[in-house]
Amino acid sequence: MQQPLPEALEVSPSIWKFTLPIPFPLRTVNMYALIGEDGWTLVDTAMGTPDTRAAFEAGLQKAGLSIDRLRTIVLSHDHPDHVGLSGELHEQSGATVYMHPIDANNMRNHWQNISPERFSHVSHFFRQHGMPAGEPWFSQASPDQLHHIIRVPPFEALTLVEDGQYLRLSGERYRVIWTPGHSDGHICLFRERDGIFLAADHVLPRITPNIGLYSEYDRANPLGDYLDSLRKVSTLPASIVLPGHGEPFKDLAGRVAEIIEHHELREMQILTLLDEQSQNAYQLAEKLFGHRLKSNEARRMAVAETLSHLEYLRIHGQAEQHKTTDGLILYAPA
């Protein structure tokens, strides 16, 4: 499969897509510049790794944009490949930064002061589900390096937005659509005038977004949230979908149907595996994702994704969980 290369491209009149490298399995992330007469808006901000910064600089030059004309930043969700440069760009430009309150709060907890201790409860959560101990991806970096890669604005500097709210961005009107699933406070933007749909990581063209349960503090049923959020956007009259990863595409309803079908098939796969014997989430993830589990980060995402399906099945009365004497959590058919 061909990987998208870093590039800057005008994908619709006055909307530029910057495809930038990231140090994760997806390889690249998309940022979008919405250009108006009095300045421009940036939707998502990638990360501050050296190659990302170089590609962003080249993209700005190609699009004829400068940071001093950046008026607004919209952060679709709190994942590092979407917020990494947000603090720095906010400081340089004074741009207003919009974000949903749930992910704004999560961003404060995760990235405001990054320390390994913050993630010890996450490690414990995954150990309960059978995953061997492993270091988070950022543990190899020093605090200074991390601060260069991920710097977010202080919570007080954020302007919080709610579902259904309209934002004026670069002279155009966009509707905020809250789409929990990939993250609890994920938002998309829809321009009703011409059907431009900035989907971020809610609907992707080639792969299904990671829908994972990462801690007991998350919303309890991320897959249930996600399927509801997919149906919520499926009837939008979108002329083009601008995703957070991969290329823009047209058939929103068709893609939503494909993703829902994928999750239904995965639920059936999991129930079939549970029919054989009670298992923990890590054992199931190894069977479902086996050959793709090449790093600790990939394993963690696979276990989180498996857990979101197990909890969905449990909430719907199709699976149940019980604890072993040594504290492991196993799932079995209900």
Bridge partners for 28 per DSSP? 21
Residue type, 214: Y
Residue among 43, 27, 25 nearest 35 (CA): 43
- pLDDT class for 1, splitting at 50, 70, 90? very low
Neighbour tally for 172: CB within 10 Å: 19
H helix or E strand, kind and range, residue 12: strand 7-12
Please state, in angstroms and rounded to a whole number, the distance separating the CA atoms of residues 152 and 86.
5
Per-residue model confidence as pLDDT tens digits over 167-213 = 999 999 999 999 999 999 999 999 999 999 999 999 999 999 999 99
What SS3 class is residue 145?
Answer: helix
b/e burial code for range 211-241 (CB count within 10 A of at least 16 → b): bbbbeeebeebbbbbbbebbebbbebebebb
Q: Residues near 318 by Cβ (< 8 Å), separated by ≥ 6?
A: 267, 271, 333, 334
**What per-residue confidence (pLDDT) applies to 119?**
63
Going from the N-terminus, what domains does the chain have, and what CATH number goes with each? 7-265 (3.60.15.10)
- Please provide residue 221's backbone torsions phi and psi, each rounded to the nearest 5 degrees: -135, 70
Per-residue model confidence as pLDDT tens digits over 262-295 = 999 999 999 999 999 999 999 999 999 987 788 8
Instruction: Decide: 210 and 304 in contact? Cβ < 8 Å.
Output: yes
